[in-house]
Structure 1
Amino acid sequence: MTGEALHHWIVVLDLETFSTRSDPLQLSLRAAMYDVVRTAFGDAGVNAENVVMEDRGDGILMLVPSTVSPVRLAGPLLRALDDGLRAKAAIYGDAHSLRMRVALHQGLAVQDPHGWSGDAVNTAFRLVDAQPLRDVLKAATLARLAFVVSEQVYEGVVRHGHRGLDPAAYLPLQFRTKHGETIHGWVTVPGYSAPPGLPSGDGSPQRPCTAPGAPGTTPAGTGAAPAEPAGSAAGTSAAGAQPGRVTTFSVGTVLGDVVGGDKHVHGGPIS
């Protein structure tokens, strides 16, 4: 019997390079994935017992009740997922580490005897599978996850800058589906001031912007340096700045407050 269509916050996650791992390692990674997810919901103050989780092999479809604040999902839950992934990597090392893409959308979903479906569910999967999002995670070599929200979630939630959300850390993402539909979203990478790897206006990948003399820079003409996450060893906080020292950097048009003291800013142009 088919149930009634109900509104949910729809979270989908997918593990990077899962199919390239051996069968025993896949089993281990899946166990670690569920441990990270359930712990993250608890740390974010969301009762995991109220979240529908539908297994997808290398990922999970999660339907969160509409009574849960989306600010909690885009803020505390995202940070808890990132913390959990980093903790697993510290324990098991890179060979066992998890890296994932996570998408957040909203809309109606309906349950039948075989699972959940609906256009909103389809859109969430298209977002998490989008090639631009895959490119971002690949370029963010020091990150553990890349997070994309739909246009609706960005406009209704993220852009308002609720406590714990930083709209300036998101960049727009768009792609065409196999059916020719254009889907828009916004992507961020925890630890990075801006997500690397998105195409620039001319279609080429954005060059990360690294402070002159900072670790990871390359001499002129040798290509772009790897992007460093905000807060990495390459970054300099205001508290740790040397007296009289000025750090220069170059970015495009910035939405939001970037500078509060001496800082290194990494990532592509922000527009």
Structure 2
Amino acid sequence: MSSRGGSVARLDATRPSPRGRTIVLGADITSFADLRRDDGVHSYLRRTMYGLLERAAVASRLPWRRCRREDRGDGAMIILPPGTRAARVLDSLAPCLHALLRHANHGTSDVERLRLRLAADVGAVNLDEYGSFGRPFIRVARMLDAPPFKDAMAAADADVGLLVSDRLFRAAAGAAGAAGPAGREAYRALSFTCKETRADAHLWLP
């Protein structure tokens, strides 16, 4: 099976995690557990996801090489370095990824089609001997699993969707360049409840 996503840099989970307030980005492969998907398909989807995330991050001028990337099996958590501009996540990342996914998914079967849910939050990140932790990881996980997010993705039949926390959206909205092609006008408000989390967020879909 070919790796349409291209080459992917080796993940470095031992890279020191940025400490303090920073952006956490989560990615989740939609329907990863579909019984039609065997280990070969899972491997293809994972390699393609990482390859396209790297290409989209570089195109968005996000510091991919300085990110800490932690695998989640059917997705990943990416900790951006402190000082990364929130507007670059909101304005550029999802549209770049959408264009790359359209190309990668061209001619693929339903089983091999890669669809990604992305979620992003900002807050304090910590590191111990077991890995990274902090409230942003919990909030990102809840956003990725939020039923209204999943429903909106399914209704749009979209290859990618990005849900950002209200605090990150406000940080980007207050920065120069936040009204680009995927700026504030491209997002819609979305409130959700998932487990113990009730929150306001903002959704981007193609």
Could you say whether these structures have the same fold, taking a TM-score greater than 0.5 normalized by the shorter chain as the test?
yes
Identify which of 91, 96, 106 aligns with 1:75. 91
Indicate yes or no: 2:162 matched with 1:147: yes
Q: CA RMSD in A?
A: 2.1
* Structure-1 separation of matches of 2:18 and 2:57: 26
> Which has more radius of gyration?
1
Alignment-mate amino acid for residue 29 of structure 2: L
Identify which of 118, 122, 127 aligns with 1:102. 118
The alignment of Structure 1 onto Structure 2 pairs a total of residues equal to 187
Contact in 2 for aligned 1:54/1:61 (Cα 8 Å): yes
Alignment match, 1:27 = 43
Q: Deviations over 1:192-223 (max 9, x none)?
A: xxxxxxxxxxxxxxxxxxxxxxxxxxxxxxxx
Identify which of 21, 28, 53 aligns with 1:7. 21
Task: Give the share of equivalent positions with the same residue, in percent.
Answer: 25
Alignment-mate amino acid for residue 183 of structure 1: A
Unaligned runs of 5+ in 2: 1-15
* Structure-1 separation of matches of 2:53 and 2:107: 17
Unaligned runs of 5+ in 1: 191-271
Alignment match, 1:174 = 191
Alignment-mate amino acid for residue 124 of structure 2: L
When the two structures are superposed, what TM-score results if normalisation uses the length of structure 1?
Answer: 0.64
Indicate yes or no: 2:146 matched with 1:124: no
Change (3 A) 1:125 1:38: same
Change (3 A) 1:3 1:73: closer
Aligned-pair CA distance for 1:91:
5.4
Task: Give the structure with the higher percent strand.
Answer: 2
Change (3 A) 1:105 1:4: closer
Deviates most, 154-163 or 23-32: 154-163
Change (3 A) 1:136 1:65: same
Contact in 2 for aligned 1:7/1:65 (Cα 8 Å): no
When the two structures are superposed, what TM-score results if normalisation uses the length of structure 2?
Answer: 0.83
Alignment match, 1:133 = 149
Identify which of 126, 151, 163 aligns with 2:180. 163
Alignment match, 2:11 = none
Alignment-mate amino acid for residue 182 of structure 1: R
